Amino acid sequence: MSGPLKVDTHLHLYPSRAEGEWWKTGYEIWEYGERAGVHFSEDAGTLGETAAALHRGGFAHGVVLNLFAAGSFRQQYESTLPADLDAPERAHALAEFDATIGERYVAFNRWLMETLADVPTITGFVAMDPWALSPYGNVAHLREMAELGARGVKLHPVLQRFEPNEPRLHPVYEACAEMGLTVLSHSGPARDGLAFAEVPAFAPMLAEFPALTVVLAHLGGGKWRDTLAVARAFPQVAFDLCEIIEWAGAPGAPTTAELAALIREIGPERVVLGSDYPWYEPAYTAELVESLPVLSQGEKDAILGENAARILRLPV
């Protein structure tokens, strides 16, 4: 492909359009406030759609992030139950789901890695949930996934309800550092006000595991003003700009000038492109990066893909 290397570090993949549409409909984007003209994708995130979206944008590589949160998956499962199921049958079905949550979690990660086995242009990051398995059960599962090609893990402290320095994840962090795997986590405020994923909440974890490669998504989201202090304190942490760049100018988001200034203060070499597809289009996210003020073309090229290849150790 001509032009700069482009890597999308923040994609979500679904087995069917129906599942992708359920997740897109159910995930409310509230923290930035209202803004007209946000450019949403019409895709639902199937493998074929994902490959086509990357091709449209001239991307050489993509990273799919598996997200598993027991509560959300339970809701999705319940939505598939027949509407005329009586209360005892519904309760029995949900009890069976709850009893097999660990198996479903493992199967979900295996599905991702098996789906991507013959797709060299897309790398998989598997879900890590501190509650679905025991700490060392998670490590054993992670090692199996790494053998299948996983290059990192995805966390979502808000949906999964944990603090980033949760002791149950310490063995996972140690294993990731040992194997050279990246930890990519959602960052941003929670609707209920709990600070699980606000950027300052990651400071204890970053201090405890200085050798760990960590990428915080969304540059802190609606709490972006708290990001710079943590970035200065922990120069090993990197950030992706997915979603926040789409909402630039909204009441709870930076303007494009403020976003560019934040990236410049953090260090453009520490910021990577992510689209959060299928919510947004990779091609359009790349256009937004290209249109940022202040940054040089070389810095924009690095954000478009060079940084991701280096930080995430991708095969590009």
DSSP string, 84-152: T--HHHHHHHHHHHHHTHHHHHHHHHHHHHHHTTT-TTEEEEEE--TTTS-HHHHHHHHHHHHHTT--E
Is 75 a member of any domain?
Answer: no
- pLDDT, one tens digit per residue, over 221-260 is 999 999 999 999 999 999 999 999 999 999 999 999 999 9
Helix (H) or strand (E) holding 272: strand 271-272
- Helices 101-115, 87-99: axis angle to 10 degrees equals 70
Any idea which residue has 């990731």 for tokens? 176
| Closest to 113 in 3D by CA, of 139, 143, 137 | 143
Is 150 a member of any domain?
Answer: yes
Residue 290 identity? E
Q: How confident is the model at residue 2 (pLDDT cuts 50, 70, 90)?
A: confident
45 burial via Cβ count (<10 Å: 0-12, 13-18, 19+): buried
Q: How far apart are CA 248 and CA 253, in angstroms?
A: 5
Is 99 a member of any domain?
Answer: no
| Closest to 100 in 3D by CA, of 122, 70, 127 | 70
Query: Domain total for the chain?
Result: 1
Q: How confident is the model at residue 1 (pLDDT cuts 50, 70, 90)?
A: low
Contact 226, 200 (CB under 8 A): yes
Please determine, for residue 160, whether its predicted confidence score (pLDDT) is greater than 60. Answer: yes
Q: How confident is the model at residue 269 (pLDDT cuts 50, 70, 90)?
A: very high
Give the pLDDT of residue 84: 92
**Owning domain of residue 153:** 7-67+104-311
Most confidently modeled range among 61-75, 77-91, 266-280: 266-280
Contacts of 147 (CB under 8 A, 6+ apart): none
Give the pLDDT of residue 159: 94
- List % helix, strand, coil for the chain (3-state, nearest 5): 50, 10, 40
Is 84 a member of any domain?
Answer: no
**Rounded (5°) CA angle 211-217-221:** 130
- In total, the chain counts a number of residues equal to 316
Is 225 a member of any domain?
Answer: yes
Residue 40 identity? F
Please determine, for residue 18, whether its predicted confidence score (pLDDT) is greater than 60. Answer: yes
- pLDDT, one tens digit per residue, over 22-62 is 999 988 999 999 999 999 999 999 999 999 999 999 999 99
What CATH number has the domain bearing residue 270?
3.20.20.140
Q: What is the mean pLDDT of the chain?
A: 96
Please determine, for residue 19, whether its predicted confidence score (pLDDT) is greater than 90. Answer: yes
Q: What is the mean pLDDT of residues 3-23?
A: 96
Contacts of 283 (CB under 8 A, 6+ apart): 53, 56, 57, 58
Contact 314, 63 (CB under 8 A): yes
Q: How confident is the model at residue 70 (pLDDT cuts 50, 70, 90)?
A: confident
Give the pLDDT of residue 72: 86
Share of the chain above pLDDT 70, in %: 100
Give the pLDDT of residue 127: 98
Q: How far apart are CA 247 and CA 241, in angstroms?
A: 11
Structure-token pair, residue 208 = 């405890």
Say whether the peptide bond before residue 278 is cis (omega within 30 degrees of 0).
yes
- pLDDT, one tens digit per residue, over 289-313 is 999 999 999 999 999 999 999 999 9
Is 76 a member of any domain?
Answer: no
| Closest to 212 in 3D by CA, of 172, 242, 239, 247 | 172
- pLDDT, one tens digit per residue, over 198-227 is 999 999 999 999 999 999 999 999 999 999
Is 21 a member of any domain?
Answer: yes
Is 236 a member of any domain?
Answer: yes
Q: What is the mean pLDDT of residues 184-207?
A: 97
Q: How far apart are CA 67 and CA 213, in angstroms?
A: 19
Structure-token pair, residue 105 = 């979690």
Contacts of 213 (CB under 8 A, 6+ apart): 152, 176, 177, 180, 181, 182, 183, 236, 238, 311, 312
Q: Are strands 61-65 and 182-185 parallel, antiparallel or unpaired?
A: unpaired
Q: How confident is the model at residue 71 (pLDDT cuts 50, 70, 90)?
A: confident
b or e along 171-201 (b: 16 or more beta carbons within 10 Å of the residue's beta carbon)? bbbebbeeeebbbbbbbbbbeeeeebbbbeb
